[in-house]
Structure 1
Amino acid sequence: MSGDSKSGEWEGNDALKTWVSDRLLALQGFSTPEFVEYAIGLAKQATSAADVVGKLEEYGLAFSDDLHLFAEEIFSNVPWKVSPRKQKAYDNEDGIGTGLGKAVFEDQIEFIKESMLKVDDEMSIESPEISKAKSELETLHEDRRTLPIYAHRDSLLKAIEEHQVLVIVGETGSGKTTQIPQYLHEAGYTKRGKVACTQPRRVAAISVAARVSQEMDVKLGHEVGYSIRFEDCTSEKTVLKYMTDGKLLRELLGEPDLASYSVIMVDEAHERTVSTDVLFGLLKDIARFRKDIKILISSATPYASKFSDFFDCAPIYRIPGRRYPVEIQYTKAPVADYLDAAIVTVLQIHVTQSPGDILVFLTGQEEIESAEEILKHKITGFGSEIPELVISKIFSNLPTELQAKIFQPIPIGSRKVVLATNIAEASSTVDGINYVIDPGFCKMESYNPRTGMESLQVTSISKASADQRAGRSGRTGPGKCFRLYTADSYKTKLDDNTPPEIQRTNLTSVVLSLKSLGIQNLLNFDFMDPPSNEALLKALELLFALGALNKLGEVTKVGRQMAEFPLDPMLSKMIVASDKYKCSDEVISIAAMLSVGNSIFYRPKDEQVRADHARMSFHTGNVGDHIALMNVYNSWRETNYSTQWCYENYVQAIKKAIISGFFSHSARLQNYGSYRTVKHPRIVHIHPRSGLADNFPRWVVYHEVVLTTKEYMRNVTELKPEWLVEIAPHYYQMKDVEDA
């Protein structure tokens, strides 16, 4: 087979492996499956036949004409390989080339390499190491020994033994999450109590626990388990427990000193969730009176010093990770439309860059579906001029089975592009990503305690997020990151870090938890980054109005009942009140539906009319959004009592239970279809996807107000104004609810 052969001649991967094995036998007299895989992987990453020769010589093969011929053949024939002739035409020293790209489409984005800018704060990047292919028969224990953390096992355990609190900086791929709890178990820490490892996300807690149970060869839920909201996969045997940070916070309500634990490891602490920040203050206090407990804070590099300072100058232990070089490229000039620029850059990469998948960060579902539609249209227009481009997407409202498609293999010779929100910054690694496109924006939630309104607005990302995004291209091999903003914008316009969640969220649930733990003076609580006094006072006011606190700020009997539920206190009060109205089963169903956010209904761009029709079918009789959610749940359960709720008194009971939790969220119809909130008056509107959007009831209660293009009320139900005085006489007077 000559060097001019095309990869299309291979009927399959097995044929390629057979050919490589035969050539290696002829070259060196032996061949192994591992070396065959290594040679093929090497050819995929190489930039020339000479590069293949050099790597094979490093491996131990002697240079010869036959070796050079083999290198040329395998370089030319490995699938996914862009020919050297085309590659030379595509590439130029300033970034993305202009060869075939101009022939396929006219609009292009000009990039410049970071290395050419001589930026003072240039990231230091280690040289890549091409790992040898592993046999499928290699054991999990051998995998553990290949992790970077393995070489530091003994020194890490010694540091943990010598210090009560340790900040651990574990680079991506170091193995800290799966290995440190196992090392602690092997060192005997679990003889004194359980080892807890917290995660910011439920999916991470489950997947990591499953992996560790495999490595320890035990059944998940026995020695290794996980605990998340509404699901506890542990037993009396459990010694290594993975859980969300919120779950550990709730365990503190029943066990304030965490006496059953010997080690608490807060993993991914740099994400700074509300629960993580509250845990910091509580763990710091526990460590002062429980000298036998060990606290490990796992952090990304930018936050290590901050965590160390907070925990009384705790030592920092650094673990190197697998790091491949990532080439950063910036636009030469600002782009006018980042969505259009992202689409153009995808196509530039597809026709000018060597094989590898693309990850594009966008701000939300609407942008992702627009980009998908435009890309499909453009690719169809190019026809057979360019290889196949497989489009995948991931965002929070996307059904789980569709999210899983980003991990599915694609046909040989094609390329995958993943369109994602910022949840892809720290989620599971998608193998094969070599290129990242970063427009520099995300949607961020914020909370205004003065108005009680939450907003979700597009804003610039931080430098920390930009670096995290770039790193996604270097997880499994060398990568490139194309930033759709200038180097000057990165240096001067992006904040160093994203503001911690505790400074931009509703604190009602946090305050109730802390009060339930006996912490009375919240203004003096040891927050790493304290929230505003206004936000704390707003939370106290609402808890008092809900009956969770008395006039002295102490937790009431109702408040303790509310604290038992892992929900927003307004939802908790709704459930507690449902017992009075004899509709607990129905209200619990509604609360469960509300607690999962805005993801009950999936509304794909190409089927919006059908999706809206299906959603409105649950609104028959203008029952309101809350009752509609119950109808959805009842339909899902396929029960036979779905007509019972239609009786007026039955619906009223459910509505009164809802108002018991959300009486402060009431609004009255104004002229021209807008509404005015009763307390703290401001103009709001019913969300266009509400079942009551076209009905304009005179009085409504709503679940939340969000700021998008307007201030919209979401999940709205009609009410009778006299119910407000009946249910919350301490909050409303008749003059508040009398119609003008």
Structure 2
Amino acid sequence: MDQETEEECYLDSESLGEVDKECDDILELNQFDGLPYSSRFYKLLEERKVLPVWKVKNEFMDVLAKEQFVWLSGCARTGRSSQIPQWCAEFCLSEQYINGMVVCTQIHTQQAVDLALRVADEMDVNIGHEVGYSIPMETCYANDTLLRFCTDDVLLREMMSDPLLEHYAVVIVDQAHQRTVSTDVLLGLLKDICLQRPELRVVVLTATDPAPKQLTHFTSPAVTHIRLQNQEVGELVHSSTQEGYFCSALRLVLEIHRSEEEGDVLLFLVTTQEINLAHEILRHEADSLPSGLGELLPVSVHPGAPGSLQDCTERQGPRRRRVFLTSSSNEDFFWAVHSIRFVIDTGLERRYVYNPRIRTNSILIQPISTGQATSRQQLAGPTGKCFCLYPEERQLPAETRPLIVEANITSTVLFLKRMEIAGLGHCDFIDRPDPSSLMQALEELDYLAALDNHGNLSEVGIIMSELPLEPQLAKTLLASCEFDCVSEVVIIAAMVTAPSCFIVPTKDLKPEAAQCHKKYQHPEGDHFTLINIYKAFTQTQQDPYCNAEKWCQENYLDHSALLIAEALCSELIDTLKRIELPVSLPAFGSRNNTVNIKKALLAGFFMQVARDVDGCGNYLILTHKHVAQIHPASCYGPKSPGLGLPEWVLFHEHSFSEDNCLRTVTQIKAHEFIEMAPQYFFYNLPQSESKDILQQILDRDMCPEEKAAITQSNHQEEHTHDRCVIQ
């Protein structure tokens, strides 16, 4: 071979080497699944790199490698919720997963699903494999999933079988600024877990800077705070009018549509009723607007309700301005809706505050915190406008009040008692629960036989903690095993736990909806009506000639709520079988079955019994002598006069602050209550005419030996009143 040929061959091989190198660059392999990256990965990567959180990636990775606790704060659209979990997955990969995988908690179920889908897309992996999610009644992950999104309550339930979270190397607690009960409990337990697992990493993500007491709470181990630089806020307009925020907000929406440039509107209202009313008004107003302005489309976004982020991010054509109607604590839902240019903030929120004395919630309308106000302003973007319907000089609260000091914590106390058995005997709360709420929770668990004489969980309490239900419902379901009505009580438990299946339409269609609902009313009460509706729904689903969704529309029933109830039924049956409890065959409609269902309900809800004291529908609640009425939508309401008003009722809910009504009501008999209620609960009831009637029945039906035994039992109870203690 001559020299020239050798040079040509050398050049060719050199050129081929460069081509191979270029091919290697083009076919870069995904570190998580070993497959070549798609072109979409690089497109999304460019979008990710402009997020504010990207500037602190190196700092975050360095801190994560050295410290146990990392606190990162930044408003919506900074990328904290979508990028931090991916970087934690990279950290675990660098350690070859020797300490476990990554789990990231969210508050709302839909946000957990939406984030999992988005992150899987950005990581260029398959949902359900490398990235997955688990929410109540739905899971989408594998045993080797390396990054999983879930709700905070799902992770807490997981801790009952894995108290030290040994499956995970990194636990990310997102939206911690919302201060939900589950999030606060999780953070309190993680502090103790970190002391037992020095290799565990905990990352806390918030939209606002943490309060000093939140940072000082984690002194051992210490916490490192990384603050993201939020994007510039567009134009801020403060105003205050005499006509009220609701009317002002709707007028402003119409004015924006008439005079402002393109862009969607986000309106923060206070209550669900306001959202529904605003939707109805704007839809009516949109019909009378000039066609040249384009379409005005109101979209209701209820916190925690089903509805994909995809529905909000996809625009359905030009010349269409959407108006998103939502309420407080929902700012993070709109992190990916980049079409929003106008934000209208009423500056108020509704909070439910539990009153342990009357065992029901009160509703407070109060100003939002400064952090919430900033988060809402950020959603308008640097070129948008935020209209604040309150004066600029108004002093907003510095931080969001934690729900642990305002909520009914009976379920939380039951869970913590279960954690004591699992070896986690101490939950170091950032803010401790209200003492009266804590004592009421312990008293209620004691009445339900969930505690023994030493204040520890009894066998009944352990089984109750296994069920994904409120304690009273869990006790009801356990009692149904004894009374052979499991199939029916499972349906009741699922229907009252799922969102309401009843659709309340506009005023014009209300009579038609009421007539449709009346077809399923049961003379024994609303709990039995729910069974009728569920059975009709499942029969429709099984009929190949029927469309279940259309059937729901025709009967003014919520299809998604019934699907949730169906999934919960399956989960409850599976749980009962797992813990080897009997599941009786359906017997709905027989007289014995009806009596047994009521006994099971009374076993759990004997604390929620009322008596009609005047024959006119004024019901005195036995536990605190408050008087309320039956809700109009009940089968005993004024629109169902044929049934008449029962003297004694058991109710599922008392909506004290909204309408002072008893909801989901079933008639009972006095002797049934006496039979099922614990004797020491009965004798602790405040004095009333209703109690005197019950006492007369008790004296008439009881033999002398039973009276003596009860007297002795009551005497013993006086000396064991301090047996319920929580650490």
Give CA-to-partner distance per residue, 1:417-458, whole Å, 9 cap, x none.
222223542213433111111222332211001111113344
Aligned residue for 1:184?
A: 88
1:165 matched to 2:69? The reply is: yes
2:249 aligned residue:
342
The whole-number CA distance in structure 2 between the counterparts of 1:414 and 1:343 is: 17
Structure 2 CA distance for aligned equivalents of residues 478 and 495 of structure 1? 27
Q: Cα offset for 1:675? A: 0.4
Letter in 2 for 1:420: T
SS of 1:511's equivalent in the other structure is helix
Q: What is the distance in 1 between the residues matched to 2:279 and 2:167? A: 50
Contact in 2 for aligned 1:225/1:233 (Cα 8 Å): yes
Structure 1 residues 630-676: Cα deviation after superposition (integer angstroms, max 9, x where no partner): 11111111089999522222122112111111111100112231101
Equivalent in the alignment of 1:674: 618
- After TM superposition, give the deviation of residue 577 of structure 1 in Å: 0.9
TM-score, normalising length from structure 2? 0.76
Quote the offset at 1:138 in angstroms. Answer: 4.9
The alpha carbon displacement at 1:237 in A equals 1.1
Q: Which residue of 2 aligns with 1:330?
A: 238
Q: Which one of 414, 424, 447 corresponds to residue 545 of structure 1? A: 447
1:530 aligns with 2:416: no
**Structural mapping, 1:489-508, within 5 Å:** 490-491=394-395, 494-508=396-410
Q: How does 1:1-20 map to 2 (within 5 A)?
A: none
Q: Deviations over 1:324-375 (max 9, x none)?
A: 43221111x4433222111211122222222222112222343233333433
Look up the match of 1:554: 456
How does 1:59-70 map onto structure 2 within 5 Å? none
Corresponding residue to 1:692 among 636, 652, 668: 636
- After superposition, the C-alpha distances for 1:160-181 in whole angstroms (9 at most, x for unaligned) are 1111111112343233323323
1:596-644 superposed Cα distances (whole Å, 9 cap, x missing partner)? 24x3212122532222222222114x23111111111111110899995
Aligned residue runs from structure 1 range 26-425, under 5 A: 138-187=42-91, 188-189=94-95, 190-303=97-210, 305-312=212-219, 313-321=222-230, 323-331=231-239, 333-384=240-291, 386-395=293-302, 400=307, 406-422=312-328, 424-425=330-331
Indicate the residue corresponding to 1:737 in structure 2. 694
What CA distance in whole angstroms lies between the structure 2 residues aligned with 1:522 and 1:352?
60
Aligned match of 2:660: 711
**Gapped runs of 5+ residues in structure 2?**
1-38, 544-584, 639-643, 684-690, 698-727
Distance change (3 Å), C-alpha of 1:291 and 1:709: closer
2:600 to 641, 646, 657: 657
State the partner residue of 1:65. Answer: none
What RMSD in Å do the two structures reach over aligned CA positions?
A: 2.9
Q: Structure 1's 385 and 193: CA in aligned 2 closer, same or farther, altered over 3 A? A: closer
* 1:591 aligned residue: 493
Alignment of 1:444-463 (within 5 A): 444-463=351-370
| 1:580 shift after superposition | 0.5
Matched to 1:655, the amino acid is K
1:478 aligns with 2:383: yes
C-alpha change, 1:360 and 1:275, in structure 2 (3 Å) is same
Partners of 1:380 and 1:202 in 2: CA distance: 34
Q: Classify the secondary structure of the residue corresponding to 2:599.
A: helix
In 2 relative to 1, CA 260–698 (structure 1 residues): closer, same or farther, beyond 3 Å?
same
Matched-pair contact (CA < 8 Å) for 1:390–1:410: no
Corresponding letter in the other structure for 1:437: I
Structure 1 unmatched runs, 5+:
1-134
Letter in 2 for 1:157: M
Name the CA distance, whole Å, in 1 between partners of 2:80 and 2:592. Answer: 57
543-552 vs 351-360, which deviates more? 351-360
Figure out how many residues of one structure are paired with residues of the other and give that number.
596
Look up the match of 2:475.
573
* Structure 2 residue 532 is matched with structure 1 residue 626: no
Q: Which amino acid aligns with 1:164?
A: Q
2:51, 2:82 → 1: CA distance? 10
The structural deviation recorded for 1:498 is 2.7
C-alpha displacement of 1:396: 5.1
- In structure 1, distance between residues paired with 2:408 and 2:466: 19
Query: Contact (CA 8 Å) 1:399, 1:602: kept in 2 or not?
Result: no
CA distances 1:81-105 after superposition (whole Å, capped 9, x unpaired): xxxxxxxxxxxxxxxxxxxxxxxxx
TM-score (ref. length: structure 1): 0.75
What letter matches 2:233 in structure 1? P
Q: Show the counterpart of 1:487.
A: 392
User: Which aligned runs of 4 or more in structure 1 are off by greater than 6 angstroms?
Assistant: 519-524, 639-643
Alpha-carbon distance, 1:497 to partner: 2.5
Are the counterparts in 2 of residues 434 and 479 from structure 1 also a CA contact under 8 Å? Answer: yes
Q: CA deviation at 1:207?
A: 1.7
Task: Kindly state the Cα deviation for residue 523 of structure 1 after the two structures are TM-superposed.
Answer: 12
Contact 1:433 1:473 in 2 (8 A): yes
1:644–1:396 Cα change, 3 Å: farther
Is 1:427 aligned to 2:333, yes or no?
yes
Contact 1:397 1:602 survives alignment (8 Å): no
SS at match of 1:652: helix
**Pair 460,613 (structure 1): closer, same or farther in 2 beyond 3 Å:** farther
State the secondary structure of the residue aligned to 1:238.
coil
Equivalent position to 1:613, from 506, 515, 518 = 515
Letter in 2 for 1:588: V
Aligned mates of 1:160, 1:227 — CA distance in 2: 25
Deviation readout 1:702-733 (Å, 9 max, x if unpaired): 11212234422111111112122212233226
Higher mean C-alpha displacement, 159-168 vs 553-562: 159-168
632-641 or 230-239, which moves further after superposition? 632-641
Does the 8 Å contact 1:195/1:262 carry over to 2? yes
Q: Which amino acid aligns with 2:675?
A: E
Equivalents in 1 of 2:143, 2:295: separation in Å?
52
Distance 2:130 2:140 in 1: 11
| Residues 266 and 324, structure 2, Cα contact 8 Å, conserved in 1 | yes
- CA drift of 1:154 comes to 2.6
| Structure 1 CA distance for aligned equivalents of residues 329 and 519 of structure 2 | 32
Contact 2:163 2:422 in 1 (8 A): no
Tell me the secondary structure at the aligned position of residue 168 of structure 1. Answer: strand
Structure 1: how far apart are the matches of 2:44 and 2:426? 48
- 1:470, CA displacement in angstroms? 2.1
Q: Deviations over 1:42-87 (max 9, x none)?
A: xxxxxxxxxxxxxxxxxxxxxxxxxxxxxxxxxxxxxxxxxxxxxx
Distance 2:293 2:401 in 1: 43
Q: CA separation in 2, counterparts of 1:162 and 1:138?
A: 30
- SS of 1:600's equivalent? coil
1:531 shift after superposition = 1.4
**Paired-residue identity, %:** 35
Worse-superposed segment, 558-567 or 250-259: 250-259
Amino acid in structure 2 at the alignment position of 1:195: V
What does residue 715 of structure 2 align with?
none
Judge conservation of contact 1:364–1:395 (CA < 8 Å) in 2: no
362 and 609 in structure 1: CA distance in 2 versus 1, 3 angstrom threshold:
farther
What secondary structure is seen at the aligned counterpart in 2 of 1:701? strand
Name which of structure 1's ranges 356-365 and 671-680 shifts more when overlaid on structure 2. 356-365
